[in-house]
Amino acid sequence: MFKKLLSFEEAKKVIDANFEPASLGEEESVLLEVYNRVSSRDIISSFEIPPYNTSTVTGYAIKAEDTIGANENEPVTLKIIGCLGFGEAFNQPIGKDEAVEVVFGSVIPEGSDAVISLQDIEREDDTLNVFRVAESNQNIQKKGSDIRKDTVIFESGQLLGASEIGVLASLRMNQVKVKRLPMVAVLSVSNEELLLASSYSPVRPCEVASHNVFAAVIESGAKPVYLGVMPKDNFQILHMLKTAINSTDIVIVCGNSDNSEIVNALGKPGIVVNGIAIKPGKTTAVGFVDGKPVFFLPEDPTVALLLYVLFIKSLVQRLGGRPVSVIKTVKALSGSRMFSAKGHRKFIMVKLSFDKNCRLIADPIDTTGYLSALIEACGFIEITENKNYIDIDQEVEVYLFRGYASNASSF
């Protein structure tokens, strides 16, 4: 089946050499739906923020020169001529020895150049006693001091998170141009009549791997297209792959077999990776048709998730124009001796926990029970081809699936 197994590094290089991210275009989306999307154009402010001089405290807008000589024993007396709420405008300028009550964010009235805070005054009806000299521009945020008009706020390619959406809301941008999401076809191939997750039978298995991968695609910032479970019939597989390649950007098949002839028949260059010297995942195959990658993964859901993280996730992110995320790692001590696989790079699923000495321990998971492995696995460790084993209590680097250890409560 496999004429030549590529090493892990060779397989990565071959995939990268054949992958050329095409432009997916852009679409306009409402502001509340652009979280975790990527801006397709520079976002430029159409006005200044704040659009006028504003107060940074609750207090009284005054002329700073009117407070000269004020102290705790001899306050300066000013006349209160009005009150301003947030977003309101005062219809007359402030004159000498006059004050206007303001709140945080109020527009500074014309003629005022300072705001005195409540801790430095006493009010008696419409009279204001000021016990401290105010400085010019005190407690005032100047017009345009936060964001200037016609400034590039976010460049094209910016990942839009909660902070960015808050800024866009302040700029009154209800519509935002974003890059289209990559479309990723996900299907499973099996001789068994596997039930979908919505069905149940105590004697017939449920297909899991494609659901696993489907969710991982969403986490990567793409739109998965679930195509269901296919029998191992070459004609049906050929038809489904042709449809998937024509309508999506990446195709992932869980439950791989020798489909090299099928992929080769669909277009050039066809299969470029047909087996990788890794364990698990030796049977992984990768093809390209008209520039679109087609991945064949094992049907084991834990292994499929691992291979997605190792080979596919970065391609999905690059295609979507988003930053390629680095797998988070944590240092731990090996909970047992773990052996390599001769001539292969080995990836071992581990769970994390703290021992009685508060040391973080990485214990290998028995992947024969693949559902419990999905629940327990915090991540994986890697044993390269030139190592024989990892000894107990040896420091290891754990690559995290989720960025945290769900079963290590103090981690």
pLDDT band at 403 (very low <50, low <70, confident <90, very high): low
Residue 296 lies in a domain: yes
Residues 33 and 167 in one domain: yes
Query: In which domain, by residue range, is 227 found?
Result: 8-24+181-319
pLDDT of residue 205: 62
Output 183 or 233, whichever has higher pLDDT: 183
Residue 32 in any domain: the answer is yes
The verdict on 283 and 306 lying in the same domain is yes
Looking at residue 396, which CATH number applies to its domain? Answer: 2.40.340.10
- Residue 222, in any domain of the structure: yes
pLDDT of residue 377: 86
Is residue 169 one of the residues assigned to a domain? Answer: yes
**Do 274 and 195 belong together in one domain?**
yes
**For residue 81, which of 92, 73, 67 has the smallest C-alpha distance?**
92
Position 127 pLDDT exceeds 70: yes
pLDDT in tens, 169-188: 999 999 999 999 999 999 98
pTM of the model: 0.82
Instruction: Encode pLDDT of 364-375 as tens digits.
Output: 987 665 677 778
Q: Which of 205-209, 355-359, 369-373 has the lowest mean pLDDT?
A: 369-373
Q: How far apart are CA 232 and CA 256, in angstroms?
A: 9
Please, which residues have CB within 8 angstroms of residue 410's CB and are 6 or more apart in sequence? 354, 358
Whether the predicted pLDDT of 195 surpasses 90: no
Residue 326 has pLDDT above 60, yes or no: yes
- Specify whether 193 is located in the same domain as 296: yes
Q: Contact, 155 vs 41, CB < 8 A? A: no
Q: What pLDDT does residue 404 have?
A: 46
Q: What is the pLDDT of residue 117?
A: 95
Q: pLDDT band at 2, cuts 50/70/90?
A: low
Q: Does residue 345 belong to any structural domain of this protein?
A: yes
Does one domain contain both 266 and 253? yes
Q: Is residue 127 part of a domain?
A: yes
Question: Which CATH number covers residue 263?
Answer: 3.40.980.10
280 and 205 assigned to the same domain: yes
pLDDT digits (tens, 9 = 90+) for 159-172: 999 999 999 999 99
pLDDT digit string, tens, across residues 306-316: 999 999 999 99
What does the pLDDT read at residue 408?
47
More confident of the two residues 87 and 319: 319
- Please indicate, yes or no, whether residues 173 and 275 belong to a single structural domain of this protein: no
Domain shared by 32 and 60, yes or no: no
Per-residue pLDDT tens digits for 373-387:
778 889 999 999 989
Q: b or e along 113-136 (b: 16 or more beta carbons within 10 Å of the residue's beta carbon)?
A: bbbbbeebbeeeeeebebbbbbee
Rg of the Cα atoms in the chain: 32
pLDDT over 90, % of the chain = 72
The average pLDDT across 343-359 equals: 93
Q: What is the pLDDT of residue 207?
A: 76
Mean confidence (pLDDT) of the chain: 89
| 377, 394: one domain | yes
Interval 98-108 mean pLDDT: 95
State whether 171 and 206 are in the same domain.
no
Domain boundary among 286, 319, 352: 319
- Number of domains making up the chain: 4
Better pLDDT: 256 or 28: 28
Dihedral angle at the C-alpha atoms of 9, 346, 373, 409, nearest 10 degrees? Answer: -90
* 212 and 292 assigned to the same domain: yes
CATH code for the domain in which residue 77 is found: 2.170.190.11
Tell me what pLDDT residue 374 has.
77
The pairs formed by 131-134 with CB atoms below 8 angstroms and a separation of 24 or more are: 131/70, 131/71, 131/72, 131/75, 132/67, 132/70, 132/71, 133/64, 133/67, 133/68, 133/69, 133/70, 133/71, 134/62, 134/64, 134/67
Rounded to an integer, the average pLDDT of 91-108 is 94
| Residue located via tokens 């992110």 | 317
* Dist. CA 78–CA 75, nearest whole Å: 10
Please, which pLDDT band fits residue 331 given cuts at 50, 70 and 90? very high
88 and 153 co-located in one domain: no
Report which listed range, 42-46, 207-211, 405-409, is most confident: 42-46
